[in-house]
Amino acid sequence: MSGGSGILSTDEIAALVEAAKHGQLPDQAGSAGHQRRAPRLRTVDFSRPTKFTSDHQRRIARAVDTFCQTAVTRLSAELRYAIELEAINTMQLTWSAAQAQLPVGAMLVTLEVQPINTRMLMTVEQSFVLMGLECLLGGSPVRPPKERRFSEIDWTLTRRLVESMVNQLSLVWQDLGGVTLVPGEIEVHHETSQVASVSEPTYVVVIEARMNKHSSTIELLIPWVAIEPVAARIAGRERTRRDDDPDDEPAIERALGTAPVTLRAEVAAIELAVQDILGLRPGSVVNFGTPAEHGVSLFAENVRLARAQPGSHGRRRAVQIRGTERDSERDAA
């Protein structure tokens, strides 16, 4: 630099260019009056989507905790053996990444989400299923069972065990999103199992199941497409309307629509003195002062609704509406 002014001379610029060609730039950390802060870089993992908001994640995690508490009671009673369930991890991945981290040989259960006709996936490690079968058959899971080929009896008992878990899971999803879960076919995990597209954002909940100090995992894979129709309700942003909600106009209309109201047809009306009424006899004629061609008036309680023509329908008296009061007011205007 020339004279400490910070301006490079022509020769100094040429030297720097030549050094740059050979990758030999000088260290300028202390050449200036202050040090430049190094650029801050943030690593972004594009394989981890962020479609599920913090509200979705928090409320789903809370529902899963409730499932763990209720399912423990039911499963322990059915298997006659103490079971512990605990949600130990949650993550947001793509569908392909979520499938890739599933345990080898896990049992896959497709969950039909009704009434929105979408699908989730629940996986259960085979070791947990085998210990459950041992208990259902009157045994005790003393040691971890060895994997084996399932017989027809094994598959039948496995479905019973799975349905018990799904029933409890369905109850919490009914409260969470107003949907129910129905178990589909049960199969062994393989790469071709496809419920959603490979890039679909998927929320994964990992549950640890413990029996006699043996640990297994149950995983729930929730593709975004499976909850999208009820996503607002799951996040708690949709106000649930009830029939008795005063702000729910359709509900008020439905409630009023069932109220009984007396409907009557009136020929005409006239005021008479009591003595004139008492003097009426069979054959007496009362003049109402209204032309007969005006027909009768139809009233709901004391509110006049329409004009009608008297007649019959079969063996019953009836009237035929000829015009409403609104029509009369419009014609008069």
Which CATH number characterizes residue 101's domain?
3.40.1550.10
The answer to whether residues 75 and 146 belong to one domain is yes
The answer to whether residues 128 and 187 belong to one domain is yes
The answer to whether residues 85 and 218 belong to one domain is yes
Query: In the predicted model, what is the mean pLDDT of residues 149-157?
Result: 86
The answer to whether residues 81 and 177 belong to one domain is yes
Q: Which two tokens stand for residue 102?
A: 């599933």
| Burial annotation 262-299 (CB, 10 A radius, 16+ → b, else e) | eeeeeeeeeeeeeeeeeeeeeeeeeeeeeeeeebbbbe
The answer to whether residues 80 and 148 belong to one domain is yes
What radius of gyration do the chain's Cα atoms show?
A: 39
Query: In the predicted model, what is the mean pLDDT of residues 120-149?
Result: 83
Q: pLDDT confidence of 299, banded at 50, 70, 90?
A: confident
Whether 322 and 331 have beta carbons less than 8 Å apart is answered as no
Judging by DSSP bridges, how do beta strands 84-94 and 263-266 pair with one another? Answer: unpaired
The answer to whether residues 287 and 208 belong to one domain is no
The answer to whether residues 67 and 108 belong to one domain is yes
300 or 238, higher pLDDT = 300
DSSP 149: -
Residue 89 lies in a domain: yes
Measured in whole angstroms, the distance separating CA 151 from the mean position of its chain's CA atoms is 37
Residue 45 lies in a domain: no
Q: What is residue 23's predicted lDDT score, i.e. its pLDDT?
A: 59
Of the given ranges (14-18, 32-36, 48-52, 191-195), which has the lowest mean pLDDT? 32-36
Q: pLDDT confidence of 68, banded at 50, 70, 90?
A: very high
Residue 220 lies in a domain: yes
Q: How far apart are CA 110 and CA 277, in angstroms?
A: 80
Angle, nearest 10°, between helix axes 152-177 and 54-79?
A: 140
Whether 51 and 201 have beta carbons less than 8 Å apart is answered as yes
pLDDT over 70 percentage in the chain:
80
72 or 18, higher pLDDT = 72
Q: Over the stretch 185-213, which tens digit does the pLDDT of each residue have?
A: 888 766 556 788 888 999 999 999 988 88
Q: Which domain holds residue 5?
A: 1-32
Q: Which of 51-65, 140-154, 294-308 has the highest mean pLDDT?
A: 51-65
Residue 39 lies in a domain: no
Q: What is residue 101's predicted lDDT score, i.e. its pLDDT?
A: 87
Q: Which two tokens stand for residue 30?
A: 């202390």
The answer to whether residues 202 and 280 belong to one domain is no
The reported pTM is: 0.58
The answer to whether residues 186 and 222 belong to one domain is yes
The answer to whether residues 73 and 206 belong to one domain is yes
Give the chain's mean pLDDT: 81
Number of structural domains in the chain: 3
| Burial annotation 21-56 (CB, 10 A radius, 16+ → b, else e) | eeeeeeeeeeeeeeeeeeeeeeeeeeeebeebeeeb
**Residue 107: pLDDT above 50?**
yes
The answer to whether residues 182 and 115 belong to one domain is yes
Q: pLDDT confidence of 32, banded at 50, 70, 90?
A: very low
The answer to whether residues 216 and 85 belong to one domain is yes
